[in-house]
Structure 1
Amino acid sequence: MNLYLSKKLFVDLRVYARLDKVWTPSSSSITKGLLLFFLVTSVLLIIRPENELTKKVSYTKQVDITTKNQINQFLGSRNIIFDFLFVTQLSQDINRLEFVQHAKVTRNELLTFKLAITEFIPHAYWHTGTARIAVDLHGNILTNFTPKQRPVIIELQEISINHLLASPNRDALLALKLIEEEPLAQELIDENVTYVFTKSEGLSAELPNGSIVVIGDSTNIDEKLIAWRIFKTQIDAADPKNPIHLDLRFKNRALISNNLTTSLTAQKVLKD
């Protein structure tokens, strides 16, 4: 019995010795690990992200100065080491910014980055009273965006005791988008055109000579532009004192008048 216990104890001691050799780190390993930990910690504390990261980002294409300033402000609170190690997370964080439509960050060299960015440009500016706001295609008001030259839609409201509130009309914004997508629009509309919206007539285009083309809603935009082109020469030649009013809200017909005409003239402009 004693011999059996002695053998078992001897085997247990050998197993323990092996485990001890495998799992117990040496003092030199502990020292190296601590040195590495303190070295990394020191680097993270010494490097100032606001002095480094903003200088280490280059853009793949020209970006508006306002966008650069907003990006630099965002990068000011980040750490260049962490972002270099987790560059995918940096891309995701930049994509969450309201003024960014799409962004991708890639590592360039050590602790340097390349940023490919598509700026979020407003679909239009909606003007009501004395307030002008940037809006997207769906009429959502944008608080952060890249200020680019975009069409302005002036909303005319009846004067009341209540304050004028901006209420972007989605259909008018859609009509503007469809107009911009039509090649014919480049022939008819230049940068001096002013867009006006009223609840009674919908979207209209006011030309530099005072003539007004009523577009209405977003339906049949292509047909409306064709009808507009038929009267383009007459509209462009109109005297600013006697501008033309062209109403395109009626399918296949245009109603044209001027200040000296008391009755509207209906002309069929398209085949049924």
Structure 2
Amino acid sequence: MSNYDQNISRVCDYINQNLDDELSLDKLSQVSGFSKYHFHRIFTAHTGSSLIKFIQISRLRRASFRLMLKNKMKIIDIAYEAGFDSAEAFSRAFKREFGQTPSTFRNAPQWIEWHERSESLSIKKAEQPEVRIVDFAETKVAVLEHHGSPELMYETSQKFMNWRNESKRFPANTTLSFGLVYADPKKANPDDFRFDFCSSIKGDVPENDHGIITKTIPAGRCAVFRHSGSFKNIRHGIHYLYSTWLVQNNAECRDFPLFFHYINTIYDVDEHELLSDIYLPIK
């Protein structure tokens, strides 16, 4: 990863961590370490987007999570938070970027188109995370299986969280949240893609009409690294595990899929504050 990539990545992180602030050219060029006379062109060359466009999409992306997760938050308040002076201006910008008005998105989000548009700005991140080896303890989990396009995972996730909240079996201070990844979402046929949304549980899940079942994450050695921020860039760390770390450490994978332990979730914090541990089961 070049110094240019690192500097631009630092700027993008700064933007997403300070969306409520005035993100001026002078300030962001200082963060980048580049002259303000050249910073904008360097930023565009490395992201494929103008600085203004990147900031607006970042704010609109956060607004989309507000619309989905905070039903009691008024659209006008979400508009103000995103830096718009009126609901009309916010609606026009939101529809231009995501193909739906904010109110339509809140009621029936078109996730496939949302992913295509909001994740078009892919910023290269550091590809060598700090990896440690741990002994994972066997964990029984309640599971809702996702089958189909990875872009529709938010729908399944929301169904699972709704069931979890309604069941009142998952106290926040003792429940662990996991995701089991059965295939690379960038390479799998959408119709064949599988992902399990999981919460730790002491006993078996009672029979229900929501499709929630009981599974077990087995005990065993795992290579683990911590990912912070958006999941848009998580593939770089995972690629490092498979392409480099396994070879350098003469390690072999066990017959169980990669899985995530969510330290927090998008239901609890903003996207840039997300923390997740990525587990690769090894022999």
When normalised by structure 2's length, the TM-score is 0.21
| The structure with more radius of gyration | 1
- Where relative contact order (Cα < 8 A, 6+ residues apart) is larger, the structure is 2
Higher helix share: 2
By percentage of residues, which structure has more strand?
1
Superposition TM-score, scaled by structure 1 size: 0.22
